[in-house]
Amino acid sequence: MLNTLRISELRSQLAKRDVSASEVVRACLDQVGKVDSQIHAFLSYDEKDALAQANAADRILASDGAGKPLLGIPVGIKDVIAVQNQPLNCASKILRNYVSPFNATVIEKLKAAGAIVFGRLNMDEFAMGSSTENSAFTTTRNPWDTSRIPGGSSGGSAAAVSADECAASLGSDTGGSIRQPAALCGCVGLKPTYGRVSRYGLVAFASSLDQIGPFTKDVRDAALMLGVLSGHDPRDSTSVPESVPDYSAALDGNIKGLKLGLPKEYFIGGVDPQVTQAVQSAVKQFEGLGAEIVEISLPHTEYAVATYYIVATAEASANLARFDGIRYGLRMEGADPIELYSKTRGAGCGAEVKRRIILGTYVLSSGYYDAYYLRAQKVRTLIREDFLKAFKTVDAIVTPTTPTAAFKVGEKSDDPMQMYLSDIFTISCNLAGVCGVSLPCGFTTNPKLPIGLQLLGKPFGEATLLKIAHAYEQSTAWHKEKPSL
């Protein structure tokens, strides 16, 4: 089954001409046809276009194919990243019929690397959510148990990789939206350092927090994807002109002498005992591989959720002001501009998006800016300083990715606070602007559901982070397990 293979395995077979890119894409299309009626990972896909891209890749393979690290590899795209002449709906009614006139920088990079850009993947509307239940179009299901959520906001991206519907996918991570669904769906999800990957062509939720990253079936594939996606982009003012190392070359399996920090604030009450046990077992595995475990403190962690939901909603309020019914997207009729705006946004935005816009507008309003937004920015600085201080003594930080495994569809829909707390271990990474990765470290029992291990690294320290993740992964078999759809 070609659709079950990792990128590294597909590259080898394609290079030897054992298989064609067309056969790989056809295998993924067949899998989508077979299982996506259960999973609902895809909002749309263009079969004809995917096969045309595959045929073009086969022509290149027949002649040369060198220098294109993703040649013939199908990569799914979260519906918040612009692909020219494809829908860009952000899973929202307000952009239901919008088609992107241009490619995001990451799409240009994927195409230059030879990837088959394949389909639009479901998400929480405008990336606001932790369960992919906030999509205006459908609820994505977890491939391990279709009565449960896949995580969010990049739930479609995680589910598609877990269900072998594509070899890899792109998501975006504002407060955990790559790492959390990767943990719940049992795949690898990488959130790069802020500024490592261009945000040009990413529909903004919270501009100082958003970062694009890959979902893959193992760490080696994540390293390859990151190498393709990374690099300075003058079209993104937040893109950092930092050199891009060979991430794959760092995966030598040797982590002897590296120091891994365990933050006491992340091992707290309320975490599922099975999650705690799996992470503690992973820590012992790291010790067995020669790493040194050090207890550390990130003392401002308790303020992370409150800080995030002030900063993120404030930025969302400003960014989503452009969806007003005037320039593009849904337009409702009104007797005057105010009525037009209110009717359009009322009909086009879902409940969670409205909630966050209202919260963000409130914290930015006259009389409340200093009390909320300015104070949150100061606390954010303290959170970042906690991490920078910790990284003076450790090479990476080890935590659970989520406090529990995947919960039931609808279980937390009526309690926004409980939903927000499902990101409690991932939010600080975005506030601090550091890099993070989630990878499988075990399963719960009754039912069998994936558990994620989170590793957090220094700013632009992805090479070391991936080295540590790869050493652990290769010493265990968790990443080889598949859901039985």
**Cβ distance 283 to 293 under 8 Å?**
yes
Distance between CA 465 and CA 240 in Å, rounded? Answer: 19
Spatial CB neighbours of 138, under 8 Å, sequence gap ≥ 6: 40, 43, 122
Are 183 and 438 in contact by the 8 Å Cβ rule? The answer is: yes
Catalytic residue among 20, 22, 68, 78: 78
Q: Are 338 and 103 in contact (CB under 8 A)?
A: no
DSSP 3-state assignment of 230?
Answer: strand
The catalytically annotated residue of 135, 157, 177, 239 is 177
Q: Quick one: CA dihedral 16, 50, 135, 326, positive or negative?
A: positive
Q: Where do we find the tokens 């969302």?
A: 316
HSE-CB of 21 using CA atoms within 13 angstroms: 26
Task: Report the run of H or E that residue 175 belongs to, with start and end.
Answer: none
Distances (CA, A) of 63 to 58, 60, 137: 9, 5, 42
Question: In the annotation, is 177 catalytic?
Answer: yes
Measured CA to CA, the distance from residue 325 to residue 342 in angstroms comes to 9
First-to-last C-alpha distance (Å) of the chain: 14
Q: How far is CA 359 from CA 176, 241, 318, 364, 383, in A?
A: 20, 34, 11, 9, 22
CB 283 within 8 A of CB 458: no
Active-site annotation holds for 153: yes
Q: Contact, 175 vs 205, CB < 8 A?
A: no
Q: Residue 408 has what DSSP assignment?
A: B
3-state helix, strand, coil in the chain (%, to 5): 45, 15, 45
Task: Check 100, 153, 169, 428 and give the catalytic one.
Answer: 153
Look up 162 and say whether it is catalytic.
Answer: no
Catalytic residue list? 78, 153, 177
